[in-house]
Amino acid sequence: MARSPKTAGKGRKLSNFLCFAIYSANLAFGRAYKPLLDKVGLTYTQYIALVALSDEDEQTVSALGEKLFLESNTLTPILKKLEQMGLIKRHRDPADERQVRLSLTPAGRRLIEQDLGGSLIEATGLGDDFPVVQKTVSRLRDNLLRATKADD
């Protein structure tokens, strides 16, 4: 899969793999963000987590994980780092001590309101297609996750 149906069977070229297009586009986004995020001392994943946290206060790790498609094994170290940087607060929910509640600090909110990636819209070169591509790729993701979850 991840290759065009049209070329199935032969021409097993990387350029025909959708999975590789996504994989390499993800690397490209990481590199495009790097110089912008370096200025504020954030990594790409930390930045994405921070954006998700700006959605709503007092989210649990699980709830954040559902938004990001990640679990506590990945998130816990990142969240501890963000807390250590003074950008978020973590505390056990008194009503259920198993859960950890997450909230941005004022510093974290200020940082995220800077619209750090704004200058990259033009760099995508997508123009008016931007929202279409965004929706198509999101749909692709949801389809893949549904199919993966279906047969496991």
Task: Name the residues that contact DNA, by CB under 7 A.
Answer: 23, 27, 30-31, 34, 43-46, 60-63, 65, 69-81, 90, 95-100
**Residue 102: which of 66, 62, 53 has the closest Cα?**
53
Q: Is 82 in the site for a copy of itself (CB under 8 A)?
A: no
Quote the CA–CA distance of 53 and 83 in Å, as a whole number: 12
Q: Which residue has the tokens 């800077």?
A: 114
Q: Which of 54, 60, 72, 99 binds a copy of itself (CB under 8 A)?
A: 54
In the complex with DNA, which residue's Cβ is closer, 40 or 63?
63
Ranges assigned E (strand) in the chain: 59-60, 88-93, 96-104
Stretch that binds a copy of itself, among 80-88, 90-98, 99-107, 120-128 (CB under 8 A): 120-128
Q: How far is CA 68 from the centre of its chain?
A: 6
**Which of a copy of itself, DNA, none does residue 33 bind to, with CB < 5 to 8 Å depending on kind?**
a copy of itself
Q: Is 107 in the site for a copy of itself (CB under 8 A)?
A: no
CB of 53 to DNA, least distance (A): 13
Q: Is 67 in the site for a copy of itself (CB under 8 A)?
A: yes
In the complex with DNA, which residue's Cβ is closer, 3 or 88?
88
Q: How far is CA 143 from CA 80, 127, 140, 146, 148, in A?
A: 32, 25, 5, 5, 8
Q: What is the DSSP letter of 101?
A: E
**Which of DNA, a copy of itself, none does residue 105 bind to, with CB < 5 to 8 Å depending on kind?**
none
Length of the chain as a residue count: 152
Rg (CA), the chain: 18
